[in-house]
Amino acid sequence: MLRPFSLPGVPIYEIPDRTGTFAVVTGANSGTGKEAARRLAEAGARVVLAVRTPAKGEQARAEILARHPHARLEVRRVDLADLASVEAFAEAIVADGTPLDLLVNNAGVMSPPTRMTTADGFELQIGSNFLGPFALTVRLLPALLAASAPRVATMSSGSANFGRIAFDDLQWERRRYHPFLSYGQSKLADLIMSVHLARVAAERGWKLLSTAAHPGYTRTNLQTAGASLGRETPYRPNPALRALNALLPSQAVEPGTEPLLYAATGPDAVAGGYYGPGGRFGLVGASAPARITRRAQDAAVNARLWAEAERLTGVALPAPAAGTAGTGQRSGS
C-alpha cells in the first residue's frame, strides 16, 4: 500500500502488519538497515539488529525505542567478514527454535581504497558483501523453512550492472585491485545469489521467497564508515568522485530504504524479483521493478558461482531428498 510521502509526488511504501513475525536485519545500526529495522518493528515484527559492533547496535535500538517505545528489538553480534562469527550467530538463531519469517541481507562495505581481506583471507568486498551473507543465508535455512511464508531480501546495487564475475580471480590477487570494480563484482554476486536462491526454492518446493533490491543513490555513511571498516582514519572519496556525486540526484535514507522494504514485505513481490527507485536514472523515486542485468540471468553461471561460494565458505545445501525440504549445513558435518 502506498500513501503520500513528505515530498510531493513521492509515495512511501506502507508495510503490511507484521505482528507475530520474526526478522533479522544485518547492518541495522545505521543507514538503510536501521531504517528497515525501525519500520519492520513499527509494523509489529520482532527484529534482531544483527551488527558488527554491539555498542552501535544498542545505540540504534535506543533511538528506535525512543520513537516507538513498544518496538520489540534485540541486538546480536555478527561480523560478515568472519565466517566463524556468522556460524555462531546462525547457530544461536536456529537454536532458539523460533521460525524466521524474514532475513534482510543489508550489511556491506563499499569501495575501500586499498585491497583488504577478511578474517578468512577473502578480499574484503567479495567476502563481506557476498560470501558472508551467502553463508548466513544457507545456515539460517532451517529457521527460515520452519516459517509459513519466509523471505530473504538481499541488498544489491546499481553497481551490479557494471560488475563482472571473475571466476579465475574472485579475490583480486592477480589483477590490480580496483575499488569500484570489486564492489560491482560483489553486488552482482548478491543479485545472482538472490536469483539462484529463488530457483533452488522453486525446484525444491520451498515456500521461501527470495528477492533483491537496490537503493539507488541514497545518502548514507556506506562510502565512509563502510570503507574504513571501523579504522581510526576515515575514508574520504577523492575530490573528482565527490564532485560527480554532487551532480547526481540523491535521496534521504527513508525513501532509499523503500525498495528493500518492498522486496522484504511487498504483497506483490515475486520470487527472483528485483526492486529499486523508479525515478531519474534509477537513482531516486518511488519503488518499482528494476531491470536485472543479463549477467545475473545465466543459470549456468549462477549455479557455478553458488557452487564456488559453497566451496569457499564450507557451507552448502544438502542433496535434495525426495519428499523433504533441505536445509543448510556445513560441508562434511
Catalytically active residues, by annotation: 183
Residue in 318, 19, 299, 301 with CA at minimum distance from that of residue 142: 318
Strands 46-51 and 72-77: parallel
Question: Inter-axis angle of helices 299-313 and 179-204, to 10 degrees?
Answer: 100
Do residues 65 and 73 make contact, with C-beta atoms less than 8 angstroms apart? yes
Do residues 160 and 187 make contact, with C-beta atoms less than 8 angstroms apart? yes
E-state strands within the chain: 2-4, 11-13, 22-26, 46-51, 72-77, 102-105, 151-155, 209-213, 274-277, 287-289, 315-316, 329-330
In angstroms, how far is the first alpha carbon of the chain from the final one? 44
Decide: helix, strand or coil at residue 175. coil
Residue 324, all three cell numbers: 523433504
Return d(Cα 30, Cα 34) in angstroms, integer: 5
> How many CA atoms are closer than 13 Å to the CA of 131, on its beta-carbon side?
28
Do residues 142 and 327 make contact, with C-beta atoms less than 8 angstroms apart? yes
* Burial of residue 230, with CB atoms counted within 10 A of its CB: 0-12 exposed, 13-18 middle, 19 or more buried: exposed
> How many CA atoms are closer than 13 Å to the CA of 200, on its beta-carbon side?
28
